[in-house]
A = this chain, B = another copy of it.
Amino acid sequence: MKLLKVDTVKEVKDKLKLYFDAAGFVSPSESVPLREAVHRYLTEEICSDTDIPQFTRSVVDGYAVIAKDTFGTGESAPVFLEVVGTVEMGKDCKLKLEPGQAVYVPTGGMLPLGSDAMVMIEYVESLDENTIAVYKAVAPNSGIMNRGDDFKEGQILFLRGHRITVKDVGMLAAIGKDHVTVFKKPRVSILSTGDEIIDIAETPKPGEVRDINSYTIAAFAEATGARIGFIEKVPDVGHQLRSALEAALAESDIVLLSGGSSAGNKDMTAETIDAMGKPGVITHGIAMKPGKPTIIGIIETEINDGFMRNKLVVGLPGHPMAAIVAYDVIVNDFMKRYCFHNEEEPIRLTARITENIHAGEGRETYQLVSLKRAEGEREKARDSDPEWFAEPIHAKSGSISQLMLADGYVKISSLSEGVKMNSSVEVTLIGR
């Protein structure tokens, strides 16, 4: 095994920036129907092209009035107003209110010109067809939503790179975006290397193991915005890996290699990546725990008539949990930056760590934790304490149950010596 210097996470990100930012990596875009746009990333800023509401409307059932007409009225001293019409839902209102007049408006209906408030039906008595008694004074603007109250024409609603959430759909519908332009999903292919790997539907013979990693990595890649190209098992033979990687690169933006962590395997992975083209392997290992045996390569590829583009190849560690931490810290971060132009921070949860965590030694530590509610015997010390406890997971590396039990990880900087029991930590949730 060649002994090569490992890069820090920051060094890795700087290198990637060099190849994908300076080179002007441009993500292709596509238009999708609003109903399919959830969890996609916007290619452009979206401004409102209209005031919302588009007209001043009532938010109650009752009568549109001129507020001043009601001043001084009360339960025992009503004011009498002339009813000059009724607003129909969905119709333009051509009426104009003069002092002393009122118009019936249902919830959501358009207010007539001249009116500036609504009196709820509960405070009104109908005396005859054309007259009402109003028993309550209302202030201007009460019971109505003015044109543009919600948002105004030209107002920026979403930035480029924004990840469309479920709760954004209503806003996009309000401004008539039945289609939105989003970044295409990067095509990610996964090659699973190792003579011992068999398909999960098969029954392993002694020495064989099911292909856990391909399924795990594919699930994380899809959940973080990728489209899965192909998934293939490749035996530990150099030329087979070479042709599989060549085929995968031709059809993908990103190729993930999931291999054993054996020395021979790592050498073969690095050699195969270098054989694909330039610049080849740029990182032979990362100063992080877990995730150290992560290999990163870049291959400049002609995609059409002389147009060159860099593609990313990442050799992930063989242990499932290390593979997922490396995926999250490197590949997911890469996709957010260069495929989706998204700079939004994920929501992290504050929790109290239940043990001392040793870290440091010049590498970033990602401690997997399981979240437990602060209940029962473990009462909160103070009202302001976090409601969650983060319990470090101690399953052996290589364990798959470790991943199932983990709600997230606590990142500990390479400059810190660790965190003390009972201190407050931030948990990045994973794989939910």
CB-CB under 8 A from A385, the residues of chain B are 384, 424
Overall SS of chain A's interface: loop
CB-CB under 8 A from A176, the residues of chain B are 200-203, 210
Q: Are A108 and B209 in contact (CB under 8 A)?
A: yes
Q: Is A430 an interface residue (CB 8 A)?
A: yes
Q: Are B215 and A169 in contact (CB under 8 A)?
A: yes
Q: How many copies does the complex hold?
A: 2
CB-CB under 8 A from A432, the residues of chain B are 165-167, 347
Distance in Å: Cβ of A178 to nearest Cβ of chain B: 4
Select one of B177, B263, B371, B430 contacting A167, CB under 8 A. Answer: B430
CB-CB under 8 A from A196, the residues of chain B are 89-90, 108-109
Cα–Cα, bound, A202→B347 (Å): 36
Known pairs A89-B236, A170-B403, A404-B167; A209 contacts B396 (CB<8 A): no
Q: Is A261 an interface residue (CB 8 A)?
A: yes
Q: A34-B200, A171-B404, A173-B211 are in contact. List 12 more A-B contacts (CB 8 A).
A: A35-B218, A54-B204, A90-B197, A107-B261, A108-B262, A166-B223, A167-B406, A170-B216, A173-B200, A347-B371, A350-B388, A384-B385
B-binding residues in A (CB < 8 A): 34-35, 38, 52-55, 57, 59, 61, 87-93, 106-110, 121, 145, 149-151, 157, 165-174, 176-178, 194-213, 215-216, 218-220, 222-223, 236, 260-265, 318-320, 324, 345, 347-350, 352, 371, 373, 382-388, 395-401, 403-404, 406-407, 423-424, 426, 429-432
